[in-house]
Chain A
Amino acid sequence: MALNSESAGKLTHVMADFEIKDLRVSVEGREILKGVSLAVNKGEVHAVMGPNGSGKSTLSHTLMGHPNYKVVGGQVLFKGKDILTLPTEERAKLGMFLALQYPVVVPGITMSNFLRTAINAKRGFDGKDKSKAISVKEFRALLKNEMSVLRMDDSFLSRYVNEGFSGGEKKRAEILQMAVLKPEMAILDETDSGLDIDSIKFVSDAVNKMRGPELGVLIITHYTRVLKFIKPDYVHVLVNGEFVRSGGPELADWLEAKGYSEWVKEPAKAPAALEAK
């Protein structure tokens, strides 16, 4: 199958809603991203696929401003700003969201407190003007709806953030946060890894429900499996810190068959053992 590696870039070149331009990033002095460019419009779902060590996590963490990743060059434009100059919290307030591959356990802070504080921060509640804070009733109603889609029960809210959560529960909790914070640009970092098939379905249902003209999505994944549930509009292959190919959803099928063999010896299809989990 012949693929035009230029197509996606050209299609979205004119002032996209979210634009990564020649981004170069180093970690501990080593350059991991060597000039990547990508344009995502609201309403689109892009998948970034790549083998281990290709720079996928570096991309997701850099976009959200993790302190361990040093930007050496390039820009990321969102809503008229170069977000690389903004602290993490400002990026979130601007409408960005990152679902982490490994959500951290935060003992002592309940999910309820965490979610409420995040919602209030987005609404500009600084602890003083109570009219800006979400009411208990509104908060309840908002969560009830989203939690039922994700098959999460009320007990989640009184538990500490991610403490004692199974792999699937952690990922569902990430998507719940996305659902209540309603971002305009969401990055899902390996959201499918470590998930049983039921959890993948619940998570995908929730993401598909959020899809629409107000949301751009970047799914970062090693394996093609999740893309059967969340259909991407574009697929990009990241190898050694560079995009080596871009195309439509058919590129994912091609990768499923061939793996990353053109570049490295790694399959893009999950091993049977992982599928069965």
Chain B
Amino acid sequence: MAFTKAAVEELSALHGEPEWLRARRLAAFGVFEGMSLPDTRRNEDWKQVDLKALNLEAYAPFQQPNGAAPAGRLESVGATLYQRGTSPAVASIAADLSQRGVILMPLAAAASAYPELVQRYLFSAVKPERDKFAALHAALFSGGSFLYVPDGVTVEQPLVSQFWSAGPGAAVLPHSLIIAGKGSRFQYVDEFLSNNRDETSLASGSSEIFLEEGADVGYVALQHWSVKTWQFANQRFHLGRDARLQMVDVALGGHLARLRVEAMLEGPGSSANLKGLFFGTGEQAFDFRTLQDHVGPHTTSDLLFKGALRDQAKSVYVGVVRVEAAARGSSSNQANRNLLLSEKAKATSEPILEILNNDILRCSHGATVGPVDPEHLFYLESRGIPRPTAERMLVQGFLGEVLDRIPVAQVRDAVDQELAARID
């Protein structure tokens, strides 16, 4: 079955969704049908993206997976949600969190249980009109998680959602909708995983995160799809007054893994710390588009995307810092560092500054592309450390700066192991 109107209706019925959501899906499907794939020659936002080998017709919109998500891996977490493909998501939450009004539940269920909230926020940040993949996502999103943390509530232990692919040839389109109430504090992790490391798949995920006044949120996304997955993902954060965001994006999987990250610093005094970590091997290609949009005054953003590439792996980074007219006294930093571990690995980096208010404290950016620093190697070797060990230490050290920021020990350790395996 291809991407059809009938598939949209079938999926909506399968999830038992309310009529308003079914209507939204169908409207988004109309947008999808009316759009062609992005023009990678003329559309600035899609330049350097190679879509030649992508055939959307080859993917089923959803598929009954042959089993549940391999759950139960995480310890010391406050709440979890597991979903495989379009199967109903399974959530569990600590009793004391429920009592304090924290909600982590399948998005499909939330659409019925909390229609006023979901209706107001869903697709308000990542709109279907943005491009064909965002429209496809809005029409046929597989499900996902809904997280609501009420005003003033602090959650000590991390909250985690895991999304597993359904199987080869199927699209997986998870959505995370997160609402952080005023002064709330928590850490949330999205994990995207493939059952089979070799399966071909299409992934288009969206995360919409709203931080109300004074909210303090840690958001981590770990993308570990198969190396044959086409990923087109969006993350968009809206920050209210004095809200504070600490984000870490980890990209390990994908044939082409495209990720757009947008931090909208709307509330005065809001701040965003945005970190990215990627490691490409084989023929993998990463494509990162980031936006640090200083809308309100006295806003602060600090972005650091770091990655290592070996074999023929490639990465493209395009980062926009926008300081809008009202954003006086704002401060921004943007850095993209790429370590090339082979002759054929390639990275490009392009900073774009759009400054509409000159009354700013700081606006700096920097990019580096190159191999392991020979002076660093010499230094370690001069202390008797053998070259392979020295190289491993330097790559791990390079990535460690971002890795150390992942708040869940188990997730951090899993990433660390995966990185170590890719280095050797």
Q: What is A's interface to B at a CB cutoff of 8 Å?
A: 64-67, 87-89, 91-93, 97-98, 100, 103-104, 106-109, 113-114, 117-118, 121-122, 127, 160, 177, 181
Contacts and interface: CB of A to CB of B under 8 A. Distances in A.
A115 B394 CA distance: 14
Given A103-B379, A107-B401, A121 B386 contact: yes
B389 interface: yes
A121 B378 contact: no
10 tightest A-B CB contacts, nearest first: A108-B397, A92-B384, A118-B383, A88-B381, A109-B397, A121-B384, A108-B400, A89-B381, A93-B384, A121-B385
Interface residues of B, number: 24
Contacts of B383: 92, 114, 118, 121, 177, 181
Interface in B66-101: none
Contact of A87 (B381, B393, B394, B398): B381
A121 B393 contact: no
Given A89-B387, A106-B376, A107-B401, A117 B381 contact: no
A122 B384 CA distance: 6
A181 B382 CA distance: 11
A51 to B, nearest CB: 25
Nearest to B306: A108
Contacts of A91: 382
B34 interface: no
A88 B393 contact: no
B386 A100 contact: no
A118 B374 CA distance: 18
A106 B385 contact: no
A118 B384 contact: yes
Interface in B383-424: 383-387, 389-390, 393-394, 396-401
A98 B385 CA distance: 14
A108 B399 CA distance: 8
Name which of B387, B393, B398, B401 has the most chain A CB atoms within 10 A of its CB.
B393
A137 B334 CA distance: 42
Given A67-B374, A107-B398, A181-B384, A121 B389 contact: yes
B384 A64 contact: no
Given A109-B394, A113-B393, A66 B384 contact: no
B343 interface: no
Contact of B378 (A88, A97, A122, A181): A88
Contact of A67 (B378, B396, B399): B378
A79 to B, nearest CB: 15
Name which of A89, A91, A100, A104 has the most chain B CB atoms within 10 A of its CB.
A89
A133 to B, nearest CB: 13
A174 to B, nearest CB: 10
Nearest to B390: A89
B127 to A, nearest CB: 39
B375 interface: yes
Nearest to B385: A121
Given A104-B375, A109-B393, A117-B393, 8 more contacts: A65-B381, A89-B381, A100-B382, A107-B397, A108-B400, A118-B385, A121-B384, A122-B384
Contacts of A106: 376, 379-380, 394, 397
Nearest to B404: A108
Nearest to A89: B381
Nearest to A94: B384
A104 B376 contact: yes
14 contacts: A64-B382, A65-B382, A89-B382, A100-B379, A100-B382, A104-B375, A104-B379, A107-B401, A108-B394, A109-B393, A117-B380, A118-B383, A121-B383, A181-B383
Contacts of A160: 397
A89 B386 contact: yes
A139 B387 CA distance: 23
A27 B373 CA distance: 19
Nearest to B337: A107
B396 A108 contact: yes
A66 B396 contact: no
Given A64-B382, A106-B394, A117 B401 contact: no
Contacts of B396: 108-109
A271 B373 CA distance: 35
Contacts of B385: 89, 117-118, 121
A187 to B, nearest CB: 10
Nearest to A187: B382
A192 to B, nearest CB: 20
A144 B26 CA distance: 69
Contacts of B399: 108
A106 B400 CA distance: 12
A88 to B, nearest CB: 4
B402 to A, nearest CB: 10
Contacts of B375: 104
A127 B375 CA distance: 24
A140 B255 CA distance: 46
